Amino acid sequence: MKKVIYKSSGFIIALTYFIGVMIFGEAHPFCKFSMYSSFADYSYVFYFTDNENKMIKCTDLNTTGTNLAHMYTTICEKNDFKHGHGMESDSVLHEIGKQMLNIIRINNLKLTHNNKKVKINRMYFYYEGKDIKCKKQEMYETIFK
Amino acid sequence: MKVIWNNNYSTIEWNFMKISFVIFWLNAIVTILSKNNFIAMPIGLLSFLQPNSIIDISFKLMCLITIMVAIYFYIMEKQMIWTTLFLFLISVLVFTIEESNGIFRRNELFSFIFFSQFLSYVFKAKNIDSNIQKNRVQFSVQVIAIGYTLSAISKLNVSGLNWVFDGKKMPLQIMKSYFYSYVNDGNNFFIQKGNEMIKTFNNNLYLVYFLLGFSLLLEFFAVISILNKKISFIYGLLLLVMHIGIFWVLDVAIKGIYIPMLIFMVNPLFLFWIILKKIKNTCMMVVGYRVQ
- pLDDT of B20-56, one tens digit each? 999 999 999 999 999 998 899 999 889 888 887 889 8
- Containing A99, the helix (H) or strand (E) segment is helix A90-106
Which H/E stretch holds residue B38?
strand B38-39
* Nearest-CB residue to B112 (from A6, A17, A38): A17
Q: Do A41 and B108 touch (CB under 8 A)?
A: no
- Strands of chain A, DSSP E: 42-49, 55-56, 117-128, 131-143
Please judge whether B180 and A64 are an interchain contact, meaning their C-beta atoms are less than 8 angstroms apart: yes
Tell me, what amino acid is at B137?
V
CB contact under 8 A, B102 and A103: yes
**CA A10-B150-B210 angle, 5° bins:** 110
The Cα B207–Cα B245 span in angstroms is: 12
Lowest mean pLDDT among A110-114, B62-66, B255-259: A110-114
- Mean pLDDT estimate for chain B: 94
Chain A residue whose CA is closest to B56 = A107
Contacts of A93 (CB under 8 A, 6+ apart): A122, A137, A139, A140
Distance (Å) from the alpha carbon of A109 to chain B's nearest alpha carbon: 9
Helix (H) / strand (E) containing B257: helix B255-261
Burial call A85-111: b when 16+ CB within 10 Å, e when fewer: eeebeeebbebbbebbbbbbbebbeee
Distance CA B246, CA B109 (A): 19
What does the pLDDT read at residue A109? 67
pLDDT reading at B289 higher than 90: no
Q: How confident is the model at residue B139 (pLDDT cuts 50, 70, 90)?
A: very high
Closest Cα partner for B260 from B25, B81, B11? Answer: B25
| B54: nearest CA partner in chain A | A106
> A96 contacts in B (CB within 8 Å)?
none
- Mean pLDDT for back-to-back runs of 10 residues, chain A (145 residues): 84 97 95 94 95 92 94 95 96 96 83 78 94 95 86
Helix axis angle, B268-291 relative to B11-35, nearest 10°? 130
A81 to chain B, closest Cα gap in Å: 15
Q: Which residue of A has its CA nearest to B138?
A: A10
Distance CA B158, CA B148 (A): 16
- Facing B103 at nearest CB: one of A34, A55, A71: A71
Residue from A28, A38, A101 to probe the interface with B (highest B Cβ count within 10 Å): A28
d(CA B97, CA B33): 8
Please name the helix (run of DSSP H) or strand (run of DSSP E) that holds residue B54, with its range, or none.
strand B53-54
Q: What three-state secondary structure class fits A35?
A: coil
Alpha-carbon distances of A4 from A9, A12, A15, B21, B125, rounded to whole Å: 9, 10, 14, 31, 17
- Residue B4 is predicted with a pLDDT of 84
In one letter, which amino acid is B281? N
Residue B175's Cβ-count burial label (10 Å; 0-12, 13-18, 19+) is buried
pLDDT value at position B3?
80
Q: pTM of the predicted model, to two decimals?
A: 0.93
By C-alpha distance, the chain A residue nearest B31 is: A62
Q: Which of B43, B103, B112 sits opposite A70 (nearest CB)?
A: B103
- Confidence at residue A114, expressed as pLDDT on a 0 to 100 scale: 66
* pLDDT on residue A113: 64
Q: Which helix (H) or strand (E) holds B39?
A: strand B38-39
CB contact under 8 A, B41 and A78: yes
CB burial of residue A53 (10 Å; 0-12, 13-18, 19+): exposed
| C-beta separation of B42 from B100 below 8 A | yes
Q: Which candidate in B36, B161, B180, B195 is best for mutational testing of the A interface (most A CBs within 10 A)? A: B180
pLDDT in tens, B209-237: 999 999 999 999 999 999 999 999 999 99
Judged by CB atoms closer than 8 Å, whether chains meet at A58 and B183 is answered as yes
What residue in A sits closest to B124 (Cα-Cα)?
A6
Q: Which of A2, A31, A130 to mutate to test the interface with B (most CBs of B within 10 A)?
A: A31
Instruction: Indicate if the alpha-carbon torsion angle B203, B209, B210, B212 is positive or negative.
Output: positive
- Segment B169-188 mean pLDDT: 94
**Whether residue B106 has pLDDT greater than 70:** yes
Residue B43: name the closest of A96, A22, A73 by CA.
Answer: A73
Distance set, CA B234 to CA A10, A34, B260, B262 (Å):
18, 24, 15, 11
